[in-house]
Amino acid sequence: MTARRLVYYAGIAMICAWILVPIWLIAVGAIGGRQGVFLWPKSLWPREFSFAAVELFLRIEGVGKALWNSVLAAALTMVLSVALGAPAGYALARFAFRGQNAYRLLILLTRAFPIAILALPLTVSFIRWGLYDTVFGVALVHTALALPFAALVSSSLFAGIPRELEEAAWVFGCTRLQAFAKIVLPLALPGIAATAIFAFVISWNEVFAASVLTVRERTLTAYLLTVLSESPLHFRFAGGLVLILPSVVFIFAVRRYLFAMWGIANR
């Protein structure tokens, strides 16, 4: 084995450990029982296997509603990010216009403003518009966070699809919209799916905006921040497991689109 290949595999192992070890520790703390949380060193498999903490956590009043609010906000964020980001990415990839580079920079600059600075004006504006303490209002903020990534990734994906394919469709009688729907969109679908996954994860994990802009309609992250601050440690691990499990399952379910995205991006 060459030194380059050894470094390559070592890097992959480190990245996998960086991602999987925290998930494993949370899972062991959640299903390892009250005493299993404090055992060290941790065993690969918990000595006491029990879902009691997770079941008790799910029975806490308000958890079910918060979980549904998180799913709904993440789904709305995913749809809005793709619906707004994909057309913007297509325009950046296919059309040359004055200020194009400045427009790309402005898209990135939207992430330069911390959400904490915008908390007060957002709260005042949402109260005036009737969006305060609503799932849709939270989804709008999460869409603003995910939209720069959606637009720029979509732009790179559409730029990797040859323009000649669309031109050939025009020759055979398709309109620009028909050529996009029949030729470009199917080829870009894996990348758009990856963009949607990213938007879903951003919304699912975001806590600050959801805490500031909601009181009764809190998402799961905001609810956990409030409820579990004084809870026993194994309940906190149970809440963490409930929080990360849906996003992990969602990413695993659509993993084939993630792998297919690289084939388009490298063309």
Which CATH superfamily includes the segment(s) 61-265?
Answer: MetI-like (1.10.3720.10)
| pLDDT (0 to 100) of residue 75 | 92
Task: Give the percent of the chain with pLDDT over 90.
Answer: 5
Q: Can you tell me the distance from the alpha carbon of 238 to that of 179, in angstroms, rounded to the nearest whole number?
A: 49
**Does the pLDDT of residue 265 top 50, yes or no?**
no
What's the pLDDT band for 267 if we cut at 50, 70, 90? very low
Q: 48 φ, ψ to 5°?
A: -115, 105
Residue 212 scores a pLDDT above 90: no
Over residues 139-158, mean pLDDT: 86
Flag whether pLDDT at 1 surpasses 90.
Answer: no
Q: How far is CA 115 from the centre of its chain?
A: 17
Closest CA to 138 of 154, 159, 158, 122: 122
pLDDT of residue 72: 93
Which pair of structure tokens corresponds to residue 106?
Answer: 């402005």
Reply yes or no on whether the pLDDT at 109 is more than 80. no
**Average confidence (pLDDT) over 74-93:** 89
Which of the residue ranges 118-122, 184-188, 253-257 would you say has the lowest mean pLDDT? Answer: 253-257
Find, among 199, 49, 211, 194, the residue nearest to 123 by Cα.
211
Q: What is the mean pLDDT of the chain?
A: 79
Residue 51, CA atoms < 13 Å, CB-side half-sphere = 5
Domain ranges of the chain: 1-50, 61-265
pLDDT tens sequence across 5-50? 888 888 888 888 887 787 777 777 777 666 666 666 666 666 667 6
